[in-house]
Structure 1
Amino acid sequence: MNRLIWVSILLLAVGTSVFAQNRSVPYYEFKFGGFTPQDADFGNILGISFGRKLDDRLYMAGEFNYFKSSYRKQSTVADYVDTLGTIRFREVQTELEFNTRIFFVMGKLDYELRLSEQTPLFFRASGGLGFEFIWNDENNYLEDIERSRFFWGFGYKLSGGLGLKISRTGLLFIDGIYNNATASRNKERNEQGLPTAQVIDVSGFGFQVGVNLVGLNIFSVF
């Protein structure tokens, strides 16, 4: 755990140094996709990265992603049928509802390699390390229980895919992603003196599509 903290601090420090030395080539990435964590349902993920170009293949950036998934346990109370015997709609009741939100804060390195001089296609790969914050909200309507749990931990994210050059500064891409993280809360000791904690595993696979922009200083217009 301490090793992960030091690696995260080092990555952020190196990124700050790069930003200070290479201000002429900014880099932005906007993406949207889907993700299935181990202990939550499939949900959508929305992200942004911004950083600097290191050379013709490497980029360093900070990445911020937001994920949300929902689960509802419902049962049918009544079916409403027309004169032909066709069910037009039904009445349902919600018994249980879970909402899981994850906020990712990471430093990462991106790698892009043009497949050939004659093609606009690029191979992409990325690796990131940082913090993951998880909120898990529960509504149990049968037992009239409403509660929220907060977890946090360290994790890493890997991705790989293909990009298509669409302009001098823009690249469309599609990536497969893998996130590895286990977050915890309420670290205590039980009556036997053994350490206990509540743990949620948000490791899993997903995908993302988006666009990255190199050399375009978006925030200079404000």
Structure 2
Amino acid sequence: MKNQIVLLLIIFSSFIIAQNKIGSVKFGLYNPSATDNGFIIGYEGGWFIDNNFLVGWSVDWFHKNYTDSKLVKEYNDFYGTIYSSLNEVRAKTNLHSIPLMGIINGNWYIANKTKAFVTAAAGINPIFIFYRNYENPDNDEFQAAIDFAWRVGTGVIYEIGENSDSFLELTYHNSNPSWEFEVKDAVTGKRKVLERKFEMSGIIFRLGFRFYF
């Protein structure tokens, strides 16, 4: 049985390697619910199974410094609005989001040198957060969180040359990493467990360039 599995893996690997390889660089605007919109850049690698279908993987990077307004409200509810200015400092957040996903993509000609495509992806969305210490807001702390992510989209490809394309892509990304933490009111001694949820769901619009190897 083991020999059969190994043989199947070798055949599958040989099949994938034999296909046309592609590499894409894409950059644009991302508008997640958790933060303001900002710049996102990504790389996509894959293999064409036939002229109209490819499989592959992608990695993206999105970075944002912002004040978490939802967290400010939760702090105001707990500590009181008298500390609202301090709570805004406490809610300052430096976020890095790096989704890692497997992708499938189908495309077809709609005009000379022009193709339409649809794409879908699934994977994980790790986020890395540098945030302010709650009792001493001048100090930074670090936290990581991860969640399942999926993505669907569509776009248009234009053939630049024999081994290169340009494309525009519009996708919807869905992911909600989170973690729980406890805060304490230094005056009353009251404690409360809060959840920081980062709603990374949102629209991504990008320009990209694809190269064939």
Cα distance per residue 1:90-113 (max 9 Å; x no partner): xxxxx8442211011110101111
Cα distance per residue 1:157-202 (max 9 Å; x no partner): 11211111011111100111210011122499xxxxxx98542211
- Do the aligned residues in 2 keep the contact of 1:151 with 1:200 (CA within 8 Å)? no
Quick check: 1:45 aligned with 2:49? no
- Do the aligned residues in 2 keep the contact of 1:50 with 1:63 (CA within 8 Å)? yes
Q: Mark the CA change 1:17 to 1:62 in structure 2 (over 3 Å): closer, same or farther.
A: farther
**Partners of 2:196 and 2:14 in 1: CA distance:** 41
* Alignment correspondent of 1:161: 155
Which one of the candidate residues 110, 118, 122 is aligned to 1:125?
118
* Alignment correspondent of 1:213: 211
Instruction: State the Cα distance separating 1:71 from its structure 2 match.
Output: 2.4
Aligned partner of residue 115 in structure 1, secondary structure: strand
**Partners of 1:143 and 1:18 in 2: CA distance:** 54
Instruction: State the Cα distance separating 1:18 from its structure 2 match.
Output: 5.1
* Alignment correspondent of 2:71: none
* Alignment correspondent of 1:61: 56
* Alignment correspondent of 1:36: 31
**Partners of 1:132 and 1:36 in 2: CA distance:** 15
Paired amino acid for 1:153: D
Flag the structure with higher strand content: 1
* Alignment correspondent of 1:137: 130
The RMSD of aligned alpha carbons is: 3.0
Instruction: State the Cα distance separating 1:206 from its structure 2 match.
Output: 1.8
**Partners of 1:33 and 1:185 in 2: CA distance:** 28
Paired amino acid for 2:21: P
Which one of the candidate residues 90, 98, 102 is aligned to 2:97?
102
* Alignment correspondent of 2:75: none
Q: Mark the CA change 1:187 to 1:69 in structure 2 (over 3 Å): closer, same or farther.
A: closer
Structure-2-length-normalised TM-score: 0.71
Flag the structure with higher helix content: 2
- Do the aligned residues in 2 keep the contact of 1:181 with 1:201 (CA within 8 Å)? yes
Quick check: 1:172 aligned with 2:170? no
**Partners of 1:203 and 1:41 in 2: CA distance:** 12
Cα distance per residue 1:107-152 (max 9 Å; x no partner): 0101111103xx1111021100000001222248x94242233211
**Partners of 1:38 and 1:120 in 2: CA distance:** 36
Q: Identify which range, 21-30 or 152-161, moves more after superposition.
A: 21-30
- Do the aligned residues in 2 keep the contact of 1:106 with 1:131 (CA within 8 Å)? yes
* Alignment correspondent of 2:143: 149
Paired amino acid for 1:201: E
Instruction: State the Cα distance separating 1:51 from its structure 2 match.
Output: 1.5
Q: Mark the CA change 1:186 to 1:19 in structure 2 (over 3 Å): closer, same or farther.
A: farther
**Partners of 2:139 and 2:162 in 1: CA distance:** 55
**How many residue pairs are counted as aligned between the two chains?**
172
Cα distance per residue 1:8-29 (max 9 Å; x no partner): xxxxxxx997553132311111
**Partners of 1:33 and 1:19 in 2: CA distance:** 33
**Partners of 2:117 and 2:169 in 1: CA distance:** 8
Aligned partner of residue 162 in structure 2, secondary structure: coil
